């Protein structure tokens, strides 16, 4: 239990450092649907969603990798040019 709480704070720190704010702003509804498990792939009631995220936070490395894969987090050490290239399709 303590591990999940510590990982939550570590995840918040990682999102602050490397979060793709342009993508978060552009797809706010999608991000909220993922967090509250309201999308079609992973639909859960609020209590089940809480337990789901509690379990997911035990493996922080996998969650960070998923967020990097889908572009919600930049890779560690990404330059401004790489960040702009990742977000070039968001402008249209």
Within a domain: residue 42? yes
Spatial separation of the C-alpha atoms in residues 2 and 54, rounded to whole Å: 10
Tell me the mean pLDDT in the region 67-77: 87
What domain range includes position 49?
2-86
Judge whether 56 lies within some domain.
Answer: yes
pLDDT in tens, 17-52: 999 988 888 888 888 888 888 888 788 888 898 888
Q: How big, in percent rounded to 5, are the helix, strand and coil portions of the chain? A: 65, 0, 35
- Burial (CB < 10 A; 0-12, 13-18, 19+), residue 73, is buried
pLDDT at position 54 over 80:
yes
Q: Is 90 exceeded by the pLDDT of residue 67?
A: no
Residue 33 lies in a domain: yes
Taking residue 24's Cβ as centre, other Cβ atoms within 10 Å add up to: 13
Is 17 inside a domain boundary?
Answer: yes
Q: What percent of the chain has pLDDT over 70?
A: 98
CB-based burial label for 20 (10 Å; 0-12, 13-18, 19+): buried
pLDDT-derived band at 92 (thresholds 50, 70, 90) equals: low
Tell me whether residue 92 is in a domain.
no
pLDDT on residue 1: 77
Decide if 24 is inside a domain.
yes
Q: Domain total for the chain? A: 1
Residue 64 domain-assigned?
yes
């Amino acid at each position: 239990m303590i591990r999940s709480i510590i990982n939550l704070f570590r995840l918040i720190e990682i999102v602050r450092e490397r979060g793709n704010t342009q993508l978060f702003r552009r797809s706010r509804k999608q991000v909220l649907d993922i967090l509250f498990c309201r999308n079609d792939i992973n639909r859960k009631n609020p209590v089940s969603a809480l337990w789901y995220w509690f379990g997911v936070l035990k493996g922080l490395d996998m969650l960070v990798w998923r967020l990097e894969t889908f572009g919600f987090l930049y890779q560690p050490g990404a330059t401004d040019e790489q960040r702009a290239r990742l977000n070039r399709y968001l402008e249209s």
